[in-house]
Amino acid sequence: MQNLPFAAQQDQVNKFLQANRVLGAQMDQMQGTTRIIYDTQNCNSLGSYDFFSQVSSKANTLINNAPASNISQNRFEPGEGMVIKECGILLFNPALGPGNRHIDLSLLNITVGNNKVVKDLPISTGSPLVQINPINYKNQFIGDDNTFLWNIRFLTNIVIPPQIQFFVNLKFPTNLPNGFENQPLIFRLYLKGYGKLFNPRNNY
């Protein structure tokens, strides 16, 4: 993540604490941390993909020899929570690299509880091809060009309180191919930001 001025860092902390106070969860004494969570899927010729909705079934699953997710349920434990500052999308094809550009035309939605907190955000806001109000980082190849990365930086602090379910949806204008040269396309979606961890000692 980009380095934030102190005032911006404090703003995300304050919003996180205030949102939890409204819900009756006192999180002030919990341990602050940097939090990055992710979920992975194989493309399967669909035009819409949900992330974090079925992570419990992926706790011990490997995709491309890596853990499919680093969380075991799509809600945080009591005393834990997160402020989302960025979303990263990784598209990987072991044989040919990214292979298609449909993701530039996709729309991002984030739902927390029963509330849609990000609605139809175009991934192309950060595309070097389109440059529509480029609030995001430029797309980039990494490694040996088999991996393509999109980064979306949010202009508002999105709070995920403890014990509230959440998921992320990507919608495409057309169904994606499920791979090339008998190699599947692999999606990994990251949520990155400020978090709180349970602290029973209350002295940090």
Task: For the chain, give the DSSP string.
Answer: -----HHHHHHHHHHHHHHHHHTT---TTSEEEEEEEEEEEE--S-SEEEESSSGGGGTT-EETTEESBS-SSSSBPTT-EEEEEEEEEEEE-TTTSS---GGGG-EEEEEETTEEEEEEEEGGGG-TTT-SS--SPPPEEETTTTEEEEEEEEEEEEEE-BT--EEEEEE-SSPPP-EETTEE-EEEEEEEEEEEE--SS---
Q: Considering the entire predicted model, what is its pTM?
A: 0.79
Q: What is the mean pLDDT of residues 27-55?
A: 85
Q: pLDDT tens digit string along 142-197?
A: 444 455 677 888 888 899 988 999 999 999 877 776 655 556 678 889 999 888 88
pLDDT for 51 equals 94
Higher pLDDT, 75 or 4: 75
Q: pLDDT tens digit string along 98-126?
A: 444 566 678 999 999 989 999 998 877 65
> Does pLDDT of 94 surpass 70?
no
Domain boundaries, the chain: 52-197
